[in-house]
Amino acid sequence: MRFTSEQRLDDGVLERRFTLGEIPGILWTPGSASAPVPLILMGHPGGLHRMYPRLVARARHCAAEGFAAATLELPWSGDRPRSAAAEETRADLHRALKAGEPVDDELVDRLVLPLVEKAVPEWRAALDALLPLPGIGGPVGYSGGVISIGIRLAVVEPRISAALLFAGSFVPRTLFEEARQVTIPLQVLLQWDDEGNDRQLALDLFDAFGAREKTLHANMGGHTGVPHFEGDAGNRFFARHLR
Amino acid sequence: MRFTSEQRLDDGVLERRFTLGEIPGILWTPGSASAPVPLILMGHPGGLHRMYPRLVARARHCAAEGFAAATLELPWSGDRPRSAAAEETRADLHRALKAGEPVDDELVDRLVLPLVEKAVPEWRAALDALLPLPGIGGPVGYSGGVISIGIRLAVVEPRISAALLFAGSFVPRTLFEEARQVTIPLQVLLQWDDEGNDRQLALDLFDAFGAREKTLHANMGGHTGVPHFEGDAGNRFFARHLR
């Protein structure tokens, strides 16, 4: 991992951009901390530049609670090399949505599974690089979407102790099976009136999770309208489980 | 309203028992408050004596956030006169549950509607008596079950500004219709694995509420296992809307 830039935000948070091999990422750490702080991996739908305003707001919120936050660019997104297969699949998705056709399991698999397969080892490699940094301690939380990446990480990565998952994207059937193996504490966010998301599928997924402590927070406001108070609720969830 | 006893709890909270006509009730106020505080009406399934340990815990939690809390005995419960019709309906319910029969709409109506009809005016009368007390100010929140009482109160009682409803009891069809008229901010608690409660009906009810701000919190732990952290979440909900 190589740091490429560093800036101090007005609230004292230190923002450092880095590359992990060819993958761009950002690390935010609280302005002042006397001991190493837990780390939250912040998931997102891809496109660091486009997502930056929302990511930095989430990171500041984490830092205010005394957490570090980090994110990585997703495969085939932002400044990373495109994949012809992924582009074709996205085009198929847009065609299906535009035509009002159902998005079938085969398309969901093609859309999500390669992303999960490629991204999850990258996020684990990011943990290898981030956790030894001075000021960063365990344990680790995962927060956000893509929910399928969060599910797989929760199953395969023992350093992740709690996850706040955003149920707002397509989930392949096989990830439903993996959800049963998730036993870490979960908080699942669902936008009740998210027109692009299948509410019943999200409820079925919440039901499938094998965690003994799992909480569903459903709110109004559409896909991007998660209420501000859920940021506080997320901090309290992680404070319970990462401290 | 007549106060019948008064005691100071170890955390400074003042507990005063009262009767409103023939109806027993309890009022808890924070140990120290410089200005009149908002009031939370705490709903429960009936039986003040049996429910007392849980009610006082909830009231202390409210008081810690600077809220007063009050509750009333329900019609035909605790020390209040029994109703032959209500007893018979409860017996019919237990018979149906024991036989594994479905609880049909007619039985739910018989079980809940008379309770709502009788309890709601009583809780409104309690507001008339409680709000002029020194140290109590508006606005008012309703917290808990019986959810049908909470729904009716939210529709007919303009002094109630926010409601935290526990979706854990039978809801007559007509209350579903009234739910559409509820426009105050809502937080709805659902115990996901509550065996005695119809989960789908609770989700349909959440969907029906007309409120622009409504949040569903679903947790594990069975009917009586609402996690402790929901007490904090409830306080924050009321702090947002009653301050």
Note whether residue B7 is domain-resident.
Answer: yes
Inter-chain residue contact B220 with A214, CB threshold 8 Å: yes
Note whether residue A70 is domain-resident.
Answer: yes
Residue B33 has a pLDDT of: 78
Residue B32 has a pLDDT of: 84
Inter-chain residue contact A207 with B192, CB threshold 8 Å: yes
Element (H, E) at B189: strand B186-191
**What is the number of structural domains in chain B?**
1
**Which chain A residues are within 8 Å of B219, Cβ to Cβ?**
214-216
CA-CA-CA-CA dihedral for B178, B183, B184, B186, to nearest 10: 70
Which residue bears the tokens 């301050």?
B243
**Which chain B residues are within 8 Å of A206, Cβ to Cβ?**
192, 218
Q: Mean pLDDT in chain B?
A: 96
Residue B41, min C-alpha distance to chain A (Å): 23
Residue B196 has a pLDDT of: 85
Q: How does pLDDT run across B153-192, given as a tens digit for each residue?
A: 999 999 999 999 999 989 999 999 999 999 999 999 999 9
**Which chain B residues are within 8 Å of A192, Cβ to Cβ?**
206-207, 214, 216
Residue A38 has pLDDT above 90, yes or no: yes
Residue B195 has pLDDT above 90, yes or no: no
Phi, psi of A6 (to 5 degrees): -150, 130
Could you tell me which residues come within 8 angstroms of residue A105 by beta carbon, excluding any fewer than 6 positions away? A172, A173
> Inter-axis angle of helices A147-156 and A105-130, to 10 degrees?
60
Q: How far is CA A57 from CA A13, A42, B68, B138, in A?
A: 11, 11, 35, 34
Letter for the amino acid at B125? A
Residue B102 has pLDDT above 90, yes or no: no
Residue A229 has pLDDT above 90, yes or no: yes
Residue A102 has a pLDDT of: 87
Q: How does pLDDT run across A119-129, given as a tens digit for each residue?
A: 999 999 999 99
Letter for the amino acid at B196? G
Q: Are strands A68-72 and A23-29 parallel, antiparallel or unpaired?
A: antiparallel
Average pLDDT over residues B110-130: 98
Q: Mean pLDDT in chain A?
A: 96
What ipTM was assigned to the predicted interfaces of this complex? 0.93
Residue A9, min C-alpha distance to chain B (Å): 28
Residue A173 has pLDDT above 90, yes or no: yes
Element (H, E) at B3: strand B2-8
Q: How far is CA B52 from CA B21, B101, B124, in A?
A: 21, 32, 22
Counting Cβ atoms within 10 Å, is residue B237 exposed (0-12), middle (13-18) or buried (19+)? buried
Note whether residue A107 is domain-resident.
Answer: no
Note whether residue B91 is domain-resident.
Answer: no
Residue B49 has a pLDDT of: 97
Task: Give the pLDDT band (50/70/90) at residue A59.
Answer: very high
CATH number of the domain bearing residue A161 = 3.40.50.1820
Average pLDDT over residues A83-106: 94
Residue B49, min C-alpha distance to chain A (Å): 31
Residue A34 has pLDDT above 90, yes or no: no
Residue A33 has a pLDDT of: 78
Average pLDDT over residues B21-38: 94
Which residue bears the tokens 């032959």?
B84
Q: 3-class secondary structure for B125-181?
A: HHHHHHCCCCCEEEEEEEEECCHHHHHHHHHHCCCEEEEEEECCCCCCHHHHHHHCC
Q: How far is CA B22 from CA B2, B55, B74, B135, in A?
A: 10, 20, 11, 24
**Which chain B residues are within 8 Å of A227, Cβ to Cβ?**
213, 215
**Secondary-structure breakdown of chain A: helix, strand, coil percentages, each rounded to the nearest 5:** 40, 25, 35
The residues of A whose Cβ lies within 8 A of any Cβ of B are 192, 203, 206-207, 212-220, 227, 229, 232-233, 236, 240
Phi, psi of A134 (to 5 degrees): -65, 140
Residue B144 has pLDDT above 90, yes or no: yes
Average pLDDT over residues A8-23: 97
Residue B178 has a pLDDT of: 98
Other Cβ atoms less than 10 A from the Cβ of A47: the count is 14
Give DSSP secondary structure letters for B55-100: HHHHHHHHHHTT-EEEEEPPTTSTTSPP-HHHHHHHHHHHHHHHTT
Widest distance between CA atoms in chain B: 56
The percent of residues in chain B predicted with pLDDT above 90, rounded, is: 95
Note whether residue A89 is domain-resident.
Answer: no
CA-CA-CA-CA dihedral for A10, A11, A14, A18, to nearest 10: -70
Residue B65, min C-alpha distance to chain A (Å): 16
Letter for the amino acid at B62? C
> How many helices (H) does chain B have, and how many strands (E)?
7, 9
Average pLDDT over residues A44-58: 96
Q: How does pLDDT run across B48-59, given as a tens digit for each residue?
A: 999 999 999 999
Residue B34 has a pLDDT of: 83
Note whether residue B90 is domain-resident.
Answer: no
Note whether residue A97 is domain-resident.
Answer: no
Residue B138 has a pLDDT of: 79
Report the DSSP beta bridge partners of residue A191.
A219
Q: How far is CA A160 from CA A131, A154, A190, A238, in A?
A: 12, 6, 21, 11
Note whether residue B111 is domain-resident.
Answer: no
| CA pseudo-torsion sign B187, B193, B196, B200 | positive
d(CA A211, CA A59): 26
Domain that holds residue B210: 2-80+119-242
Residue A138 has pLDDT above 90, yes or no: no
Residue A45 has a pLDDT of: 95
Residue A22 has a pLDDT of: 96
Could you tell me which residues come within 8 angstroms of residue B25 by beta carbon, excluding any fewer than 6 positions away? B1, B17, B18, B19, B48, B70, B71, B72, B73, B126
